[in-house]
Each structure stands twice: as C-alpha cells, then as structure tokens.
Amino acid sequence: MNGLKSLSIVCLLIGVALFSACGIVVSVSRKKIEATIENGTEYDKKVVKVKLMGHNHNTFESDEIASGNWSNEGFTIDLPAMVDTNYIFPIYEDKFSETLTISKKDAKHGIFYIAGYDKDDNDLCYFEKSKEYNDFYTQVRYVYSDSDVKISGYKTVDKPSVPRWDEETGRYIWEIENVITIHYSATLRKGWNIVYWTENRKDVENEKFTTNTVTGLKWYGKIINDEDE
C-alpha cells in the first residue's frame, strides 16, 4: 500500500475520531506555509514539488489542495482562500455531548498533510513541523475550518492504527491501536489554522491540546520506504 495514501487515511480517521489536534489558534490572515527542512540537502536532488494534500471523504483518495516548488532546502505553499466541502467534515457528535462543549455544532473542518514529489510526480516523502522533548512529542497540523468555533472538555475514542490493504477483499482494514482520552481547550477561526497536537510517550492513553504556544519546533522530512508500504 502506498505510504502517503495510508497516511492520508489515518489523518481522516484521526480527524473524525479525535478532532485531530485542535488547540492552538493562528490568525486567519495566514496565507502561506513556509518551511526550511532540517538536513534539507538530502531532498534537493529528489523532491521537485511539494503538495498540501487532503483526503476526500467521498472517494477515499488523496488530492492536491495547493502546491509549491522545492527550492533552497525548503518550500513555500500559498494556501487557498476556500476548501471544497469534500475535504471537511463535522466536528460535533451527539455521543460526546456530556463531556465536550462545542460553540457551533454544525461547524466543519479538515486536516491536511504535506508531501514531496519527484519530477515524475511520484510521492517520495512527507514533511512535518514537530518537536520531541523529554517524554513529549508535539506536531503542527494545518486545519481548515468553515467557521469560528470553540471546543472544550474531553472525549474518549478508539485510536486507529495505520490501515492495512487486504488484497482478497480489495479494501482497507482498520485496526484499533488503543483507546485514548483527548482533552481540549481549543479555538478555531474561519479559514486556516495552525494547531499543536501533543502526546506523552509515558501516558499513551491521554492526549492534550492547549492554547499555549509550543516553541522550538523544526521542519523534518521522512522518506517513504518499503516499511510504509
């Protein structure tokens, strides 16, 4: 199975189940993603274009939302003003009404990831802005929201693992990795938002989202290899 396609499906599943990282607010005036990759020379002769990818919840395919050229060990992607409704989905679910408060129950959002492509348009790698410190891991995610919305409280959900492609049935099979509780103190503005998702390596049953900015994050790349197939 293609590693990046697997990644996009996981993003969709985590987004539906967890609201996938809504915590840190960034002004809606943000119009672009600019990145300089650590050890970026490793990608200079491989990556030609970098794409912001979204998972279409109708076709279950990964599609390009925006793109930029690879240059000087990094890239710039101009963000679109609007995102098609095929790439956003509802935040609110009735089953979490007792523990999770959402200011606008019909709000929708989408989570997007960044991938690198070669001259033949083959996906080679993905890029993330992240930080590991002590027993914590924090990652930036780019979220588009169709409206202003505030989220607080918590919910307990099944966290899916990477889906496995089943040749016999021709379908993806998802397995539950573990059950976790996600704690929120989140505000999204209409448009593009940067959010910080933090997990504790020693407390895998809890994940937290905070409005306190996490500093010291850097951009890293990961080459897709056979282990991701």
> Which range is least confidently modeled, 63-72, 156-165, 173-182, 219-228?
156-165
> Which range is least confidently modeled, 1-15, 27-41, 46-60, 162-176?
1-15
Q: Does residue 66 register a pLDDT over 50?
A: yes
pLDDT tens-digit series, residues 119-144 = 999 989 999 999 998 888 998 888 89
Predicted confidence band at 1 (pLDDT cuts at 50, 70, 90)?
very low
pLDDT tens-digit series, residues 12-46 = 444 444 443 333 333 333 589 999 999 999 999 89
Here the tokens at position 127 are 């890029």
Predicted confidence band at 84 (pLDDT cuts at 50, 70, 90)?
very high
In terms of DSSP bridges, do strands 149-160 and 100-102 run parallel, antiparallel, or are they unpaired?
A: antiparallel
Q: Residue 122's CB: how many other CB atoms inside 10 A?
A: 11
Rg (CA), the chain: 17
Give the residue, 48 or 226, on which the prediction is more confident: 48
Q: How many CA atoms within 13 Å lie on the side-chain side of 90?
A: 7
Q: Residue 185: what pLDDT?
A: 78
pLDDT tens-digit series, residues 95-111 = 777 888 889 999 998 88
DSSP code per residue over 78-135: EPPS---GGG-EE---GGGTTTEEES-TT-EEEEEEEEEE-TT--EEEEEEEEEEETT
DSSP code per residue over 147-204: S-EEEEEEEEEEEE---EEETTTTEEE--EEEEEEEEEEEEE-SEEEEEEEEEETTEE
DSSP code per residue over 63-88: EEEEEEEEETTEEEEEPPS---GGG-
Max avg pLDDT among 67-71, 93-97, 138-142, 156-160? 67-71
In this structure, are residues 73 and 42 in contact, taking their beta carbons and an 8 Å threshold? no
In this structure, are residues 16 and 76 in contact, taking their beta carbons and an 8 Å threshold? no
In terms of DSSP bridges, do strands 74-78 and 32-36 run parallel, antiparallel, or are they unpaired?
A: antiparallel
- Residue 210 φ then ψ, to 5°: -130, 155
Partnered with residue 223 across adjacent β-strands are 125
Here the tokens at position 44 are 């200079």
pTM for this prediction: 0.78
pLDDT tens-digit series, residues 197-225 = 888 877 767 777 665 678 899 999 988 76
Spatial CA neighbour of 4 closest among 140, 126, 89: 126
